[in-house]
Amino acid sequence: MICSYSVSALVAIAVLNKGQSWKFERPKKPFDFLTLPIYFGSYLPIMLISLIYVSIMNMLGLKGVDVVIPFPDNTVGRIIYLLQYALMPAFLEELLFRGVLLERLRKYGNVLAITMSSLVFALIHGNVVGFLFIFMLGLVFGYIAVLSESLIPSIIMHLLNNSIALLTSNFENDVWAISAISISIIAFGIVGIIVTAVYISTNKYKKQFSVPREKGPIMSRVYNFLLTPGMIIFICVTLAMTVMVEIFAA
């Protein structure tokens, strides 16, 4: 499954990004240093908001689909496991959603490009319960990709997120392990919020945290994007697949 997904993603990236730059340049300052603080600083509130959303979805009878991939017992197996399920998806998805889709949507404006690429990113995962969490992470990844003018920070953030997800899914029955992971996330999150806030409040970097906005009515740009034939087909197919997943998971 991962292999076929990877091949499909590589083909899509190669076709869609033909003639475009790959944006693997060194991130603009201060985002070369702030990649980890911004990730953990945003991860904490995103997780808290998502927990409320998931609770509401569960009350409505939507449980989502949890796929636990067993963690190998040997060192080589663990390395391959992390490369296959953490690094590869992070690298390919950032190339596709931030490197190709977001860049092509920037003609509609940066804010719209970040929002809509995050929406597509969340929809394509086909997870109603996890939708809000994935969408908000996509906003952070897109925001950093635009401001840093590089894919490197969002790939690192995505890799961290996948790694945390794999760890929590494999140790969900281990109270001590989950407690250690949760405490670490909270601690890193608080430090990340403080460090990022200090940089934002510094006059030297304050302007660099503002996403350049284009003039013109936002709604007309939204309509121009959403009403393209490709986008209409994509939304319909994605929603149909998501509904089917929820039906079979019930």
Model pLDDT for residues 114-173, shown as the tens digit of each residue: 998 999 899 888 788 889 999 999 999 999 999 888 999 999 999 999 999 888 888 878
Question: Which backbone phi and psi does 124 adopt, to 5 degrees?
Answer: -70, -15
pLDDT bucket at 202, cuts 50 / 70 / 90: confident
Question: Which backbone phi and psi does 227 adopt, to 5 degrees?
Answer: -95, 10
The answer to whether position 33 is within a domain reads yes
Mean pLDDT value across residues 102-114: 85
Q: Is residue 36 within 8 Å of 159, Cβ to Cβ?
A: no
The answer to whether position 36 is within a domain reads yes
Range of the domain at 226: 28-61+82-249
The answer to whether position 86 is within a domain reads yes
| Residue 222 pLDDT | 66
The answer to whether position 11 is within a domain reads no
The answer to whether position 216 is within a domain reads yes
Distance between terminal CA atoms of the chain?
Answer: 23
pLDDT bucket at 1, cuts 50 / 70 / 90: very low
Nearest to 249 by CA among 38, 56, 61: 61
Share the mean pLDDT of the chain.
80
Mean pLDDT value across residues 172-189: 89
* Sequence-ordered list of residues with C-beta below 8 angstroms from that of 199, at least 6 positions apart, any chain: 30, 34, 37, 205, 209
User: Does the pLDDT of residue 85 top 90, yes or no?
Assistant: no
Mean pLDDT value across residues 83-92: 89
The answer to whether position 21 is within a domain reads no
Which residue do the tokens 């296959």 mark? Answer: 84
The answer to whether position 71 is within a domain reads no
In this predicted structure, which of 50-64, 72-86, 224-238 has the lowest mean pLDDT? Answer: 224-238
Q: Quick one: what percent of the chain has pLDDT higher than 70?
A: 71
Model pLDDT for residues 9-61, shown as the tens digit of each residue: 555 555 555 656 667 778 877 777 888 899 999 999 999 999 999 999 888 88
| Residue 18 pLDDT | 60
Domain count, the chain: 1
The answer to whether position 117 is within a domain reads yes
